[in-house]
């Protein structure tokens, strides 16, 4: 008896046979398996590199395989973005600190105090639109500047490097990271075979793996994360002189992340945690701020630097080229309509203005091609620039016309150029217009070949530098993240191959991950394309813990209260928190609140079941003995304090919380991260909270 599956197999076989007729020579690849072809059936000789002019030259438009691959990838889904689908945006402005006319003629940097309107969209890269905010992932950090000379899109991430060196591999890394196509899961995570199979076969991904396995991949808030332009760009002044630049966004409130267990629990308690945090901050007047920083360097530095500045898997340590802070960005207005603005905003890396130009970074070159094509498919028309969120705020005039949903067409008879009509219509302006930087030192002539330059071949040195730059606690988190993710791989050989690569980064790292996976022996190290440099100095700027905030401002405290709690202590906590720009939320057995010691009724912000401690940066327990005894019977109350302890948060207390602490198993574990507000002032407590975590506790727990 033939089953439906049997019939389907026969049909597929017939289809493959039909496709193969006349092209049998394409069917078998070296080493077995099918040969990779284009959609036209042309066998692909190199799927690793785009075609470029010279070893470090620009990508060549005639590369039909790259164009077809990116074209198909860009059009895979509608209307959801293929990447960066889950995002959240806000309006604001960029304010320049001082004129930068010596290095660039770009409009936002022309004079001190100049304010340029901006729209910013934060996002997760690999997740679908309906996923959780706290997934372990890269965060997009895209800024659209509405300048007086047109729109400039600085399309970056919260990490300064990427998985791949060449844009031709972008469809592959995203396919590998997203849910597996046969089963449609898992999504919002990379803890599966496809992702680790791909990256274990791509040593160039190793540096990025260190970043996404670190706490950078699980930020506490958009407001507490850095942003990076990733690529090396050029700034060009009015005289045509070029300076290389890497863009950085530095959060005014300092960096902060969560621990993994906390991230998973936040995802359950509030999957919109980052969205809500940004909305609440702006609508309450606590406007988030970042400073724009520039790493500026010339050709001489680029030539002597130990790595290729065009390689998007490399950084320039801030200790070698300090970040010059040139302005601040303030987000002060939420959107009026999420779809019209956050969903329809279209960022394109190609959108630059006079004074900003590209380099031959092969990933950047591919992005410049891809993004415009993506917007056409996603928004359905070449007129997506007519949408208010995408339209420039300066005067503009084109001769482009018609197309689906055209809202602006040339007025009058003239729709071509040159013409002899009066008035003649818009014309180019050689003086004020954008002029591509003419590099007089360029040596980009050469044979057209698919290759990677030798200067891109070191895949492990900076990965090691990142790891040794972390604190002991942060290193432990990286080890735990690798162990957790690789434990989700069904195929043992994938884990083994990944460990072979990690041995080129750090032996202790590889050994600790192997131990966590239960592997008795380490595999032989993966032969590196270039021997790693093992004596690079640590870069303290790469650590979150070493670059914490100067105050507790912008954070949130959860105060668990009961009937009979000391009203005076609560009043002092609230007053000091307001003084230091810290938000306080009250959590009680019921949302109706409690009756505190002076007889007043105090409403709650959260019921204990809906206000777990993972939602707060620090916690306080204000309880009478009877109230604490009642809380001790509630699993959610016990979890509130036990999770705060496990996540190394500072725990303030007043009154008699002993019954709750005892029920949660904390009575014998109280350490210097517990602070009595009967003995110390709220100001002292908030000063301690500036450290964000009592990390010595985690070393004890581990």
Q: What integer is the mean pLDDT of 6-28?
A: 44
Q: What integer is the mean pLDDT of 462-467?
A: 98
Residues 558 and 533 placed together within one structural domain of the fold:
no
Residues 189 and 243 placed together within one structural domain of the fold:
yes
- Looking at the domain assignment, is residue 284 inside a domain? yes
- Lowest average pLDDT, out of 30-44, 155-169, 467-481, 529-543, goes to 30-44
- Looking at the domain assignment, is residue 497 inside a domain? yes
- Looking at the domain assignment, is residue 41 inside a domain? no
What pLDDT sits at residue 69? Answer: 84
What pLDDT sits at residue 464? Answer: 98
- The runs of H, that is alpha helices, within 83-200 are 170-177, 193-200
Residues 493 and 569 placed together within one structural domain of the fold:
no
Helix pair angle (472-487, 260-269), 10° resolution: 60
Asked whether the predicted pLDDT for residue 701 surpasses 70, the reply is no
The residue range of the domain holding 138 is 70-386
Convert the pLDDT of each residue in 524-559 to its tens digit: 999 999 999 999 999 999 999 999 999 999 999 999
Q: How many domains does the chain have?
A: 3
Burial of 192 (0-12, 13-18, 19+ CB in 10 A): buried
Convert the pLDDT of each residue in 300-350 to its tens digit: 999 999 999 999 999 999 999 999 999 999 999 999 999 999 999 999 999
Residues 522 and 588 placed together within one structural domain of the fold:
no
Asked whether the predicted pLDDT for residue 5 surpasses 90, the reply is no
Q: What integer is the mean pLDDT of 107-116?
A: 97
What pLDDT sits at residue 24? Answer: 45
Convert the pLDDT of each residue in 59-76 to its tens digit: 988 887 888 788 778 867
Tell me the pLDDT of the chain averaged across its residues.
91
Calpha distance 131→443 (Å, rounded): 46
- Looking at the domain assignment, is residue 82 inside a domain? yes
Q: What integer is the mean pLDDT of 244-264?
A: 97
- Looking at the domain assignment, is residue 42 inside a domain? no
Q: How confident is the model at residue 443 (pLDDT cuts 50, 70, 90)?
A: low
pTM, entire model: 0.89
Convert the pLDDT of each residue in 588-602 to its tens digit: 999 999 999 899 999
- Looking at the domain assignment, is residue 30 inside a domain? no
Asked whether the predicted pLDDT for residue 4 surpasses 50, the reply is no
Q: How confident is the model at residue 31 (pLDDT cuts 50, 70, 90)?
A: low
- Looking at the domain assignment, is residue 2 inside a domain? no
Convert the pLDDT of each residue in 653-698 to its tens digit: 999 999 999 999 999 999 999 999 999 999 999 999 999 999 999 8
Convert the pLDDT of each residue in 340-371 to its tens digit: 999 999 999 999 999 999 999 999 999 998 98
Q: How confident is the model at residue 77 (pLDDT cuts 50, 70, 90)?
A: low
Convert the pLDDT of each residue in 190-221 to its tens digit: 999 999 999 999 999 999 999 999 999 999 99
What pLDDT sits at residue 25? Answer: 46
What pLDDT sits at residue 698? Answer: 87
Asked whether the predicted pLDDT for residue 6 surpasses 90, the reply is no
Identify the residue with better confidence: 189 or 447. 189
Cα within 13 Å of Cα(678), Cβ side: 11
423-448 burial, b if ≥16 CB within 10 A, otherwise e? eebeeeeeeeeeeebeeeeeeeeeee
What pLDDT sits at residue 155? Answer: 97
CATH of the domain at 475: 1.20.1370.20
- Looking at the domain assignment, is residue 488 inside a domain? yes
Closest C-alpha among 628, 696, 691 to residue 661:
628
Which contiguous run of DSSP H or E holds residue 70? helix 64-74
Point out the domain boundary residue: 480, 515, 545. 545
Q: What token pair was written down for 432?
A: 């004020």
What pLDDT sits at residue 8? Answer: 41
Residues 357 and 283 placed together within one structural domain of the fold:
yes
Convert the pLDDT of each residue in 126-142 to its tens digit: 988 889 999 999 999 99
Residues 581 and 529 placed together within one structural domain of the fold:
no
Closest C-alpha among 246, 359, 233, 244 to residue 302:
244
What pLDDT sits at residue 441? Answer: 59
Strand pairing category for 606-607 and 583-588: parallel
What pLDDT sits at residue 102? Answer: 97
Identify the residue with better confidence: 270 or 409. 270
Catalytic residues: 84, 157
Torsion of CA 251, 278, 84, 62, to 10 degrees: -50
Calpha distance 518→501 (Å, rounded): 18
Calpha distance 91→89 (Å, rounded): 7
Residues 667 and 564 placed together within one structural domain of the fold:
yes
Residues 587 and 506 placed together within one structural domain of the fold:
no
Asked whether the predicted pLDDT for residue 39 surpasses 80, the reply is no
What pLDDT sits at residue 440? Answer: 61
Residues 474 and 592 placed together within one structural domain of the fold:
no
Calpha distance 625→631 (Å, rounded): 10
Residues 296 and 376 placed together within one structural domain of the fold:
yes
Q: How confident is the model at residue 12 (pLDDT cuts 50, 70, 90)?
A: very low
Point out the domain boundary residue: 526, 545, 564. 545
Convert the pLDDT of each residue in 87-104 to its tens digit: 999 999 999 999 999 999
What pLDDT sits at residue 382? Answer: 86
Residues 498 and 570 placed together within one structural domain of the fold:
no
Closest C-alpha among 691, 684, 700, 685 to residue 645:
700
Q: What integer is the mean pLDDT of 108-118?
A: 97
Residues 527 and 559 placed together within one structural domain of the fold:
no
Identify the residue with better confidence: 188 or 248. 248
Point out the domain boundary residue: 498, 526, 545. 545
Asked whether the predicted pLDDT for residue 22 surpasses 50, the reply is no
Map 466-483 to HEC letters: HHHCCCHHHHHHHHHHHH
């Amino acid at each position: 008896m033939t089953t439906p599956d049997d019939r389907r197999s026969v049909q597929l076989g017939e289809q493959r046979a039909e496709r193969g007729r006349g092209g049998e020579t394409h069917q078998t690849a070296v080493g077995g398996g099918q040969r990779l072809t284009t959609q036209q059936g042309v066998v692909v000789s190199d799927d690793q590199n785009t075609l470029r002019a010279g070893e470090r030259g620009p990508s060549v438009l005639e590369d039909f395989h790259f164009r077809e691959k990116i074209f198909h990838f860009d059009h895979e889904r509608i209307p959801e973005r293929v990447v960066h689908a889950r995002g959240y945006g806000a309006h604001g402005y960029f304010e320049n600190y001082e004129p930068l006319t010596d290095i660039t003629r770009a409009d936002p940097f022309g004079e001190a105090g100049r304010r340029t309107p901006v729209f910013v969209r934060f996002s997760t890269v690999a997740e679908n639109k309906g996923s959780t905010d706290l997934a372990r992932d890269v965060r997009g950090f895209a800024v659209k500047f509405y300048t007086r000379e047109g729109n400039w899109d600085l399309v970056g991430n919260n990490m300064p490097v990427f998985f791949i060196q060449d844009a031709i591999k972008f469809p592959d890394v995203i396919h590998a990271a997203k849910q597996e196509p046969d089963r449609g899961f898992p999504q919002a995570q990379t803890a599966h075979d496809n992702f680790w199979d791909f990256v274990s076969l791509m040593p160039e991904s190793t540096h990025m793996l260190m970043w996404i396995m670190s706490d950078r991949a699980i930020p506490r808030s958009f407001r507490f994360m850095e942003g990076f332009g990733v690529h090396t760009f050029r700034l060009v002044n009015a005289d045509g002189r070029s300076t290389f630049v890497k863009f950085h966004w530095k959060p005014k409130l300092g960096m902060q992340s969560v621990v993994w267990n906390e991230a998973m629990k936040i995802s359950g308690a509030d999957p919109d945690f980052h969205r809500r945090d940004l909305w609440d901050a702006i609508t309450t007047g606590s406007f988030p701020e970042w400073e724009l920083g520039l790493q500026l360097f010339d050709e001489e530095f680029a030539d002597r630097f130990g790595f290729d500045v065009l390689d998007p898997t490399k950084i320039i340590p801030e200790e070698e080229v300090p970040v010059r802070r040139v302005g601040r960005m303030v987000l002060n207005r939420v959107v009026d309509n999420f779809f019209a603005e956050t969903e329809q905003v279209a960022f394109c890396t190609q959108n630059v203005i006079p004074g900003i130009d590209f380099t031959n970074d092969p990933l950047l070159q591919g992005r410049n091609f891809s993004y415009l094509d993506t917007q056409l498919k996603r928004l359905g028309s070449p007129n997506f620039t007519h949408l208010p969120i995408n339209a420039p705020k300066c005067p503009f005039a084109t001769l482009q016309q018609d197309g689906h949903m055209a809202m602006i067409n040339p007025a009058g008879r003239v729709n071509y150029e040159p013409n002899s009509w009066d008035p003649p219509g818009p014309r180019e302006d050689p003086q004020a217009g954008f002029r591509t930087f003419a590099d007089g030192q360029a040596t980009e002539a050469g044979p057209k070949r698919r290759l990677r330059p030798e200067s891109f071949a070191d895949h492990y040195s900076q990965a090691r530098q990142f790891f040794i730059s972390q604190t002991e606690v942060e290193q432990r988190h990286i080890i735990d993240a690798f162990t957790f993710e690789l434990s989700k791989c069904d195929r043992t050989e994938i884990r083994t191959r990944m460990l072979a690569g990690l041995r080129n980064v750090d032996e202790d790292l590889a050994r600790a991950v192997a131990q966590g996976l239960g592997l008795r022996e380490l595999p032989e190290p993966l032969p590196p394309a270039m021997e790693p440099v093992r004596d690079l100095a640590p870069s303290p700027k790469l650590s979150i813990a070493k670059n914490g905030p100067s105050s507790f401002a912008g954070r949130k405290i959860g105060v668990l209260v009961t009937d009979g709690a000391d009203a005076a202590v609560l009043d002092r906590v609230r007053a000091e928190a307001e003084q230091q720009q810290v938000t306080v939320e009250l959590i009680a057995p019921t949302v109706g609140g409690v009756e505190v010691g002076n007889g007043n009724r105090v409403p709650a912000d959260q019921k204990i079941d809906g206000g777990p401690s993972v939602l707060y940066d620090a916690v306080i327990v204000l309880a009478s003995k009877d109230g604490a005894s009642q809380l001790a019977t509630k699993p959610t109350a016990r979890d509130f304090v036990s999770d705060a302890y496990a996540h190394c948060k500072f725990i303030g207390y007043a009154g008699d919380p002993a019954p709750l602490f005892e029920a949660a198993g904390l009575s014998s574990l109280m350490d210097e991260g517990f602070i009595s507000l009967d003995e110390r002032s709220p100001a002292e407590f908030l000063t301690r909270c500036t450290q964000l975590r009592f990390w010595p506790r985690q070393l004890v727990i581990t």
